[in-house]
Each structure stands twice: as structure tokens, then as C-alpha cells.
């Protein structure tokens, strides 16, 4: 299964949106290479993210096989350490859909470094293919409220220290959710997984 042709457009839109939000934020956005707070803790990724990571691994196996092997080694170690508590299917890597499994995932591997994070450089070894969650972390983005309340703006807790609500809102990063949903529909795949499983596809 290959990536939908529109994924490159999605990535370009996201990168441009981040750059524009960063320009507006200026020194309030403290995200820098080597800052790895957002690279710790498991998070769900959709089928499009997983396929993009798998595509990146194919590229690395052809162009940098040593790095690809190291990423897979780290992913296997990650799953050996945290797999027993995974609230889903360990064979497929699919995250469970029940209310209990979703609740369990909230506390799952919260302190574990991402297997894509290089322990020697503090950089992401799959940066060009990283999930959407990683591409929006830092600037203010609109968060869907589960209780039906008005959507709020969320941002990295290290950023926007001292900024007012209005100043934060002025730096909002738009996210093309509709395009992302369209591309996921093209994949005809359902369910979510985590980075470790995607690196081993």
C-alpha cells in the first residue's frame, strides 16, 4: 500500500503553516532542534501517518540501511519494554477502540522516548516523514473539545510564556483536517497505531 499522491501536498501545507505561525510567534515559540519534550510519551497516529513512516523506512533501507536497521532495533526494544501494556492488538499494532482501552492509553508509556528519537543527537531520525501530531506541536492549534464546549487553543507548555490570550490566538496554526481525512479515506484503512509499530512495517 503506497501513500496517496496528495500526501506531499498535505506535508507542504503543514510545513508552510508551521513556518508562518513561527514567524508570527517570534521568541514565544521556543521549539528548537534538540528540545525533546514532545518526543516522549506514546501517542496515536492514523493510517496516513503510519503509511508515511513506512514509506520513509523504505527510503532509508535503500539510502541509509544502517540507520534503518538502528531505527528498527530501537522500535523492537521499545515494544519489548512497553508492548505488554499496549491497549490493543500486539500482532497488528492496532490501538484498541473500546472505552477501557482508550482510557488505558492515556497513561501508557508516558515517559518513554520515541524510538525515532536519536539518543545521541536529540533529533528525529524520520523527520521528513514524521506524523501530523509532530508537525503541529508547539504553536497554538485548535483542540476539539470532547464535552461539546467551545474548542480551545492548545500549545506546548514551554512556549508562549507571558503571552496574553489574544497574543496566543494571533499565532494560531491552521490544520487542514479535511484534506487529512480525505487522504485517510483513500487509504481505505481504519484504526490507529503508534510510531514503534509503524517503523517495523
Domain boundaries in the chain? 7-25+35-199
Report pLDDT for 152. 84
What is the spatial distance between Cα 16 and Cα 77, in angstroms, rounded to a whole number?
A: 35
Structure confidence at residue 79 as a pLDDT band (50, 70, 90): very high
What is the residue whose three cell numbers read 485548535?
A: 142
Q: What is the pTM of this model?
A: 0.93
Report pLDDT for 144. 73
Task: Write the pLDDT tens digit of every residue in 16-30.
Answer: 999 999 999 999 999
CB of 134 closer than 8 Å to CB of 41: no
pLDDT at 149 over 60: no
Structure confidence at residue 145 as a pLDDT band (50, 70, 90): low
pLDDT at 46 over 70: yes
Counting Cβ atoms within 10 Å, is residue 186 exposed (0-12), middle (13-18) or buried (19+)? middle
What is the residue whose three cell numbers read 496516513?
A: 48
Q: What is the DSSP string of 84-134?
A: GG-SB-TTT-PBP-SHHHHHHHTTSSTTPBPTTB-TTT-SBTTGGG--HHH
pLDDT at 196 over 90: yes
pLDDT at 72 over 80: yes
Amino acid at each position: 500500500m503506497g501513500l496517496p499522491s496528495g500526501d506531499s501536498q498535505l506535508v507542504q501545507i503543514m510545513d508552510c503553516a508551521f513556518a508562518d505561525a513561527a514567524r508570527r510567534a517570534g521568541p514565544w515559540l521556543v521549539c528548537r532542534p534538540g528540545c525533546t519534550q514532545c518526543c516522549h510519551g506514546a501517542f496515536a497516529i492514523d493510517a496516513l501517518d503510519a503509511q508515511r513512516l513506512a514509506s520513509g523506512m523504505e527510503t532509508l533501507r535503500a539510502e541509509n540501511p544502517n540507520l534503518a536497521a538502528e531505527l528498527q532495533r530501537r522500535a523492537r526494544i521499545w515494544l519489548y519494554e512497553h508492548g505488554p501494556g499496549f491497549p490493543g492488538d500486539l500482532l497488528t499494532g492496532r490501538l484498541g477502540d473500546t472505552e477501557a482501552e482508550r482510557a488505558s492509553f492515556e497513561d501508557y508509556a508516558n515517559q518513554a522516548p520515541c524510538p525515532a528519537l536519536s539518543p545521541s543527537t536529540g533529533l528525529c531520525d524520520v523527520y521528513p516523514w514524521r506524523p501530523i501530531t509532530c508537525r503541529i506541536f508547539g504553536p497554538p492549534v485548535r483542540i476539539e473539545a470532547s464535552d461539546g464546549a467551545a474548542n480551545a487553543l492548545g500549545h506546548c507548555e514551554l512556549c508562549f510564556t507571558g503571552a496574553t490570550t489574544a497574543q496566543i490566538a494571533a499565532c494560531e496554526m491552521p490544520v487542514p483536517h479535511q484534506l487529512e481525512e480525505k487522504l485517510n479515506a483513500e487509504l481505505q484503512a481504519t484504526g490507529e497505531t503508534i510510531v514503534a509499530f509503524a517503523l517495523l512495517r
